Amino acid sequence: MPPEKGKRKEYLTVKDLQKLLDTCKLHLSEMDEVWPNIYIGNVSPKQADDSTHFDLDVYFQPAADFIHRALKSTNGKVLVHCIMGLSRSSTLVLAYLMIYRQLTLKRALHKLIQKRAIYPNRNFLALLLDLDLQLKRKEKRKCQNCQIL
């Protein structure tokens, strides 16, 4: 059944996210501040191949926790980097923004592509979509529990 006119699609797809990433007009640079005191950088201008099967999601919470603790420290700043600064590092920063700043994946992507050219691979985008759904479900349960009390 086609969606009703005027109704928004409930779930994003990897293809939707890639279209959003394609709107970024920035050129890749060595390091960019993508959020206050959070930087994404690259260590080499060489091409790097991110595995389409790597389970980066097991690092979402530990990386988000690390970034959060570092930013809370006096004059805290964080550099998240990988070979190109396009995929792995940006994925971990997106996870932080979703977990600690309560941004949706779409909103977090919008924020980052205003500051840096990023392009998480399809696998990482799918993992971030899963995280987005988990966080939305968790928030929905929390809201339902608040109404019961």
| pLDDT of the residue at 36 | 95
pLDDT digits (tens, 9 = 90+) for 29-70: 889 999 999 999 987 644 555 566 789 999 999 999 999 999
Mean pLDDT of 86-112: 96
| pLDDT of the residue at 44 | 60
Instruction: Please report which confidence band the pLDDT of residue 1 belongs to, taking 50, 70 and 90 as the band edges.
Output: very low
pLDDT digits (tens, 9 = 90+) for 111-147: 999 999 999 999 999 999 999 999 999 988 887 777 6
Of 115, 51, 58, residue with least CA distance to 83: 51
Catalytic: 24?
no
| pLDDT of the residue at 53 | 76
Q: Which has more pLDDT, 1 or 81? A: 81
- Domains in the chain: ranges and CATH: 16-44+54-143 (3.90.190.10)
Q: Of 24, 82, 143, 146, which residue is the catalytic one?
A: 82
Q: Note whether 55 and 91 are within 8 A (CB).
A: no
94: enclosing H helix or E strand: helix 88-100
Q: Which has more pLDDT, 149 or 111? A: 111
